[in-house]
A and B are shown apart, each in its own frame.
Chain A
C-alpha cells in the first residue's frame, strides 16, 4: 500500500468565526449525525404508524357513528393521539444525546467542536426542533387521515389547525427539552427515558388516585399534568389552567436543560 501525498489541500483555517456561523455549522452536523443512524428512523416510523394509522381508524369509527361525533374537529383526534405518540419522538430526541455517551462518540464530538456552549446549544436545538417539527407534521397527517376516512362526520377548520399545531409543537418541544436535559444530566438512555415516562405520564395519572390531597397537588406541578391539560383539554385536572400548564412545562424543561448544561460543562 502506498502513502498518498498529504500536502496541504485546504485553504488556511479561519482565525475567527462568528458564534452564529459556528452554531449553524454545528447544527448542520448534528442534523446529519441524527439521521445517519437507524434508531431515529425507527422512532419516527413508530410515531407515524401510530398517529396516522390510528387517526385513520378513529376516522372510520366516526364514520360508523356519525351522530355522536358529528361536527367534531379532526384536530382533536390528532391531539389525543399525540399523548402516547410523543414518547417515540421524545425518545428520538433523547437518543440524539445519550447515544454519544453510550458509544464513546462524545470524545471525537468534543474534538470537532470543543466549544461546549456551542455544541450544547446546537444539540438541544436540533433534537428539540426535530421532535417539535415532526410532531406538527405527524399531527397534521393524523388529522388529515382521520378527516379522510370519516366521511362527513369530522370537520377540519383552518383556525383550529393552527391552534393544534402550536399546542402540539409546544408540548413536544418542552417534552423533548425535558428529555434532552435529563439525557445530558444522566447520560443514560434507559434512566432518562424512565424518568421522562414517570414525570410525563405515570405520576400525573397515579398520584391523584392515591387519595391524598397533597399528592394531588404535587401531581398538578408535574410536567405531565400540563401536557395532558394542553393536549386533552383538562380532563380530570380542574385546578390546572392553560396558563399554569404552559408555565409548568416551561419550568421543567428549562430546569432539566440547566441541570444538563451544568453537568455537560463540568466534564465530558
Chain B
C-alpha cells in the first residue's frame, strides 16, 4: 500500500507537485498517467526519498522509504534504465545491489534468468540495448522480492515480445498481492494492463478511478452512420439537437448519442441507413479529455470532479 497525502514539491517559483492525495492499493496494477511535466517522476522520486517534499507525505506500508532497514526487500523501483555505470556488467550491477541489502548471491542469478538476461549478464551494460537495460532495471527492482514495485515507463525500448512479457509480469505481481504502480504514456498499454488509474496534470490530481470508469465516465458516446442522404440526415439531427459531422462520403459521426436514438431518428425521418454503430471509447480519448481540460483551465482551476471516484480523492 502506498499512501500519498498532501504531497507538494516546489522548485523555486515552480510548483511541480501540488497537494496530491491518492492511494495505491495492493493486488492491483495502478497506472500513473499525466502529460510531460505533470509531476509523475517527481512524485515517484519523493516516494523513494530521492527528493524531499516541500510538504505532505508519501508513505509505503505506512513508513517513509528511508525508514526501511532493507529497502530493496520492501520496495523495488525502476526509474531510469540508463542511470547505471555502463562499464559494469549486468551481473555485477546486481551483485552490488544485493550486497547493500543482504540479499544472497543466488537471488542475483534467479532474477537474471527471470528477466531473460542470462546470456548477457557477463557483458558490460554499455553493450545493452535500451530494452535490455529496462530488463536489468526490472531485475534490480525484483531482486529483493518486494511487496511494492514502482516502474517508470517500463515498456520504453522493449520489443513486442518484451511488451507481452512485462504485461504478464505486472499482472502476475499484482495477482500475488503486491502493490504495483506503473507510469506510462502509452494509453493502449495502460488500458490493457492497469486496473486503476491515477491521472495528474500540472502537479494536481485529475482522476483516481478504475480504468473502466475513466473510459465510461469521460469518453463521449459517439455513433457512426452511413446513409445515401447525408445532408437530409444532418438537418434532421440538428433539428433534434444532436451535433454531427461528415467524416466521409455519406458517412456521419454523431456526438453524445446512442445507436438506438440515432436509428430511431433515421426511421422517423424515413432516411435509409446503410451502417449504424457506436464508436468504441478508448482510454486515450478519456485521457486527452482530462489532461486537455487541465491545461485549458490551468493550475488552480476547478478540476473535473466527476471523474474522481476513488476513495482518497
Contacts and interface: CB of A to CB of B under 8 A. Distances in A.
Q: Do A and B come from one complex?
A: yes
Interface of A: 1, 3-10, 13-17, 22, 25-26, 28-29, 32-33, 36-39, 99-100, 103-108, 110-115, 267-268
Contact of A112 (B87, B97, B162): B97
B85 A100 contact: yes
A36 B97 CA distance: 13
A45 to B, nearest CB: 16
B161 A1 contact: yes
Contacts of B270: none
Contacts of B92: 32, 36
Contact of B83 (A32, A104, A267): A104
Nearest to A16: B69
A111 B66 CA distance: 9
B297 interface: no
B267 interface: no
B180 to A, nearest CB: 11
Contacts of A115: 66
B66 A6 contact: no
B84 A103 contact: yes
A26 B69 contact: no
A107 B96 contact: no
Nearest to A1: B165
B172 A6 contact: yes
Interface stretch (B110-118, B288-296, B304-312): B110-118
A226 B216 CA distance: 75
B88 A1 contact: no
B114 A110 contact: no
A103 B95 CA distance: 18
B49 interface: yes
A25 B71 contact: no
B89 interface: yes
A25 B98 CA distance: 10
Contact of B80 (A33, A36, A107, A110): A107
A99 B84 CA distance: 10
B99 interface: yes
Contacts of B214: none
Contacts of B137: 108
A15 B61 CA distance: 12
A7 B102 contact: no
A227 to B, nearest CB: 30
Contacts of A32: 92, 95-96, 99
A36 B95 contact: yes
A4 B113 contact: yes
Contacts of B99: 25, 28-29, 32
Given A9-B107, A14-B69, A38 B100 contact: no
14 contacts: A1-B165, A3-B169, A6-B169, A9-B107, A13-B68, A32-B92, A36-B88, A36-B95, A108-B137, A110-B50, A111-B72, A112-B71, A115-B66, A268-B50
Contacts of B107: 9-10
Interface string B132-164: 000001001010110000000000000001101
A256 to B, nearest CB: 24
B83 A13 contact: no
Contact of B145 (A10, A14, A100, A103): A10
Contacts of B80: 104, 107
